[in-house]
């Protein structure tokens, strides 16, 4: 028994030696394999959710993302919808948005891209307030807080 | 079996030390130079050469002197400093500031670090997603590569990760070495259970809020890496917490106690690494036949892993990070690196040689990128 324990211990130690030796040369392929696992994607609370509709305007594109209510076990009562303006951003952004695509405008938003002042005009009681309004590398992003 | 006598020296002759260092020299040469040294950029070439020489001299000295901890600590501390240098210079280059903006979060551009891992486990299980605004396969601090590195290192080294792999541990390790003698000598070692409470709390709050609460509110290392722009009362409060915890647990208490207090009392990943000590084949063992119960090792241990009671019973606790400080403090070689299953007091040299090769190789290769980058940055600043 004692001998078996010694052999098992040393064998495990040598497996560890091999693991460390192959770790760095194989890091890219190990990471790519890990990245394929179903849970290896960033939570929509950070990404802003998938783009549900893209509206092509004169100088920029407006991406309306799906509303994010994602919680640990299901949907939360409070969430947000993210709108991205991509391309050339005018000094004043003024748009009305129908984020649930029911052909009724849900809110109007006006953004002064110089001062970042953002004014929200809600058209229904699902709209709470402006969570984030910020310039980004691709243009501008706004998160409007929602309730169910 | 070898060296069961008390006081058996772990020192080697010059030639034998060089022979033992050869595999490290070859492998680190391949990794640091990429196999093909490029001399077209002199500061890059010089930085690579300095890094290559530094790591190999340290490894050689571990064999030549028979001492582990001080040479490990030199690289470990340089790793911590260079990682902060790399992160901060990257941030300054990309954003002209050490703070990240809301846009960086929205665009998932935050560098990932291994301390997030304890917080992402529950949400990953329930929501099948990662609650961190980083990049899965990013070239710099991508989530997948950091998880792979931590996973393998933890499996192989157990809590040894905390003395051979973590790019933060060098901070409190460094400050704990400044004084020769501690000013505060008595600290209850029951505080070492605190990281488990922190782990429980941050795992729960992160799952409920779907945000990494430790990073958002607690992590002392934000003070030396990157933090949220101070734009509100909440972000100012967070900055206050980061700086106070860094000053208290990483600088002042280690300085006064000679213990790694941040790692011992706060870090939730340290708690997970402690549990992984059950899996790794490498351990620290007590050769009771040679132990005179002087308890120098207990006083030396920076992570409260040893107690007098434990030494009498021949037991090293799971809190051990295999730093080697206790081993260096023991003049009788009664405490030594070992392999699970192999009886204490036997195969001391074999176990040490194998463990040092594995752990040092991990640290040398993992740290070399940021160390080269730091030397290059410093050379560019000077010349
Ligand atoms: S306890 Fe935490 S900060 Fe300290 S070395 Fe371990 S993982 Fe790093
Ligand atoms: S028991 Fe020894 S090797 Fe382990 S952490 Fe303490 S000093 Fe380091």
Q: Considering CB atoms only, which of B134, B144, B210 is closest to A71?
A: B210
Longest dimension (CA), chain A: 79
pLDDT at B3 over 50: no
Comparing B16 with B141, which gets the higher pLDDT?
B16
Q: Is A34 on the interface with B (CB under 8 A)?
A: yes
Listed range (A124-133, B35-44, B332-341) with the worst mean pLDDT: B35-44
Q: Residues B79-104: what's their mean pLDDT?
A: 85
Q: Residues B339-359: what's their mean pLDDT?
A: 96
Confidence of residue B283 (pLDDT cuts 50, 70, 90): very high
Report, as ranges of residue numbers, the positions in chain A whose pLDDT lies below 70. none
Q: Is A48 on the interface with B (CB under 8 A)?
A: yes
pTM: 0.92
Q: What is the mean pLDDT of chain B?
A: 93
Task: Dump pLDDT digits (tens) for B355-373.
Answer: 999 999 999 999 999 999 9
Contacts of B340 in chain A (CB under 8 A): 5, 9, 12
Confidence of residue B60 (pLDDT cuts 50, 70, 90): very high
Nearest-Å Rg of the Cα atoms of chain A is 24
CA-CA distances (angstroms) from residue A37 to A30, A135, B56, B113, B133? 11, 33, 38, 20, 18
Task: Dump pLDDT digits (tens) for B17-32.
Answer: 999 999 999 999 999 9
Min Cα–Cα distance to chain A from B30, Å? 10
Interface of B with A in 249-308 (CB under 8 A): 280-282
Strand partners, A64: A53, A83
Distance from C-alpha of A68 to C-alpha of A45, rounded to nearest angstrom: 7
Contacts of B125 in chain A (CB under 8 A): 39
* Whether residue A72 is found in the same domain as residue A141: yes
Q: Is B149 on the interface with A (CB under 8 A)?
A: yes
3-state secondary structure of B368: helix
**How far, in whole angstroms, is CA A46 from its chain's centroid?**
4
Distance from C-alpha of B364 to C-alpha of B169, rounded to nearest angstrom: 15
A2: exposed, middle or buried (Cβ count in 10 Å: 0-12, 13-18, 19+) = exposed
Q: In sequence order, which ranges of chain B are alpha helices (DSSP H)? A: 14-33, 42-65, 69-95, 102-106, 117-127, 143-157, 161-164, 169-175, 194-209, 213, 233-245, 253-257, 261-265, 268-276, 296-300, 308-312, 325-329, 348-382
3-state secondary structure of B138: coil
Contacts of residue A42, defined as CB under 8 A and 6 or more positions apart, other chains included, come to B108, B129, B130, B132, B133, B134, B136
Number of domain units in chain A: 2
Confidence of residue B2 (pLDDT cuts 50, 70, 90): very low
Strand partners, B169: none
Contact B106 A30 (CB under 8 A): no
Distance from C-alpha of B207 to C-alpha of B119, rounded to nearest angstrom: 7
* Whether residue A26 is found in the same domain as residue A68: no
Distance from C-alpha of B366 to C-alpha of B87, rounded to nearest angstrom: 15
Comparing B281 with B189, which gets the higher pLDDT?
B281
Ligand 1 pocket at CB < 6 A = B 162, 166, 168-169, 263, 267, 269-270, 273
CA-CA distances (angstroms) from residue B382 to B43, B83, B111? 10, 20, 28
* Whether residue A69 is found in the same domain as residue A92: yes
Confidence of residue B41 (pLDDT cuts 50, 70, 90): confident
Strands in A92-97's sheet, in edge-to-edge order, are A92-97, A107-112, A118-122
Residue B8 is predicted with a pLDDT of 59
pLDDT at B5 over 90: no
* Whether residue A120 is found in the same domain as residue A137: yes
Contacts of residue A23, defined as CB under 8 A and 6 or more positions apart, other chains included, come to A30, B148, B149, B152, B362
Contacts of A30 in chain B (CB under 8 A): 148
3-state secondary structure of B107: coil
| Percent share of chain B, pLDDT over 70 | 98
* Whether residue A81 is found in the same domain as residue A140: yes
* Whether residue A83 is found in the same domain as residue A141: yes
* Whether residue A72 is found in the same domain as residue A13: no
Token pair of A53 as six digits: 């509709």
Comparing B119 with B99, which gets the higher pLDDT?
B119
Range of the domain at A19: 2-35
Instruction: Nearest chain A residue to B30 by CA: give it.
Output: A25
What ipTM describes this predicted complex?
0.91
* Whether residue A30 is found in the same domain as residue A48: no
Task: Dump pLDDT digits (tens) for A88-119.
Answer: 999 999 999 999 999 999 999 999 999 999 99
Pairing of strands B227-228, B99-100: parallel
CATH number for region B281-340: 3.30.70.20
């Amino acid at each position: 028994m004692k001998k078996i324990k010694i052999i098992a211990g040393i064998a495990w130690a040598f497996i560890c030696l091999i693991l460390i030796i192959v770790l760095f040369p194989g890091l890219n392929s190990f990471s790519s394999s890990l990245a394929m696992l179903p849970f290896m994607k960033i939570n929509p609370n950070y990404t802003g959710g998938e783009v549900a509709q893209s509206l092509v305007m004169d100088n920029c594109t407006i991406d309306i993302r799906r509303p994010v209510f994602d919680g640990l076990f299901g949907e939360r009562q409070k969430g947000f919808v993210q709108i991205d303006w991509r391309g050339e951003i005018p000094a004043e952004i003024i748009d009305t948005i129908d984020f649930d695509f029911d052909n009724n405008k849900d809110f109007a938003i006006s953004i002064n891209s110089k001062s970042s002042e953002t004014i929200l005009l809600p058209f229904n009681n699902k709209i709470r307030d402006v969570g984030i309004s910020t310039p980004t590398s691709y243009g501008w992003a706004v998160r409007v807080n929602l309730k169910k | 079996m070898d060296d069961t006598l008390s006081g058996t020296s772990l020192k080697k002759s010059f030639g034998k030390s060089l022979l033992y260092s050869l595999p490290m020299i070859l492998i680190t040469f391949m990794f640091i130079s990429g196999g093909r040294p490029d001399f077209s950029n002199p500061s890059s070439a010089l930085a690579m050469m300095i890094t290559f020489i530094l790591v190999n001299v340290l490894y050689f000295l571990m064999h030549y002197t028979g001492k582990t901890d001080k040479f490990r600590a030199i690289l470990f501390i340089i790793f911590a400093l260079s990682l902060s240098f790399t992160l901060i210079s990257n941030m300054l280059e990309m954003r002209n500031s050490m703070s990240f903006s809301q846009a960086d979060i929205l665009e998932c551009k935050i560098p990932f670090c291994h301390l997030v891992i304890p917080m992402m486990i529950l949400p990953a299980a329930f929501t099948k997603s990662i609650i961190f605004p980083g990049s899965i396969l990013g070239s710099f601090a991508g989530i997948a590569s950091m998880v792979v590195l931590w996973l393998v290192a933890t499996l192989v080294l157990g809590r040894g990760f905390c003395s051979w792999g973590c790019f933060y541990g060098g901070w409190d390790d460094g400050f704990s070495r400044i004084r020769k003698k501690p000013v505060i000598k008595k600290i209850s070692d029951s505080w070492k259970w605190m990281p488990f409470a922190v782990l429980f709390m941050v795992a729960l709050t992160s799952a409920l809020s779907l945000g990494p609460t430790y990073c958002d509110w607690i992590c002392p290392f934000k003070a030396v890496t990157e933090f949220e722009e101070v734009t509100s009362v909440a972000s100012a409060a967070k900055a206050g917490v980061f700086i106070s915890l860094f000053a208290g647990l990483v600088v002042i208490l280690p300085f006064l106690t000679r213990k790694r207090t941040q790692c011992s009392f706060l870090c939730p990943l340290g708690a997970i690494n402690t549990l992984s000590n059950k899996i790794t084949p490498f351990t620290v063992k007590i050769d009771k036949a040679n132990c005179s119960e002087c308890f120098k090792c207990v006083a030396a241990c920076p992570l409260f892993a040893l107690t007098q009671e434990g030494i009498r019973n021949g037991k090293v606790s799971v809190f051990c990070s295999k730093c080697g400080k206790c081993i260096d403090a023991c003049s009788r070689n009664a405490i030594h690196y070992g392999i699970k299953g192999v009886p204490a007091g036997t195969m001391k040299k074999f176990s040490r040689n194998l463990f040092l090769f594995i752990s040092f190789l991990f640290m040398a290769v993992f740290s070399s990128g940021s160390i080269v980058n730091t030397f290059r940055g410093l050379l560019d600043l000077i010349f």
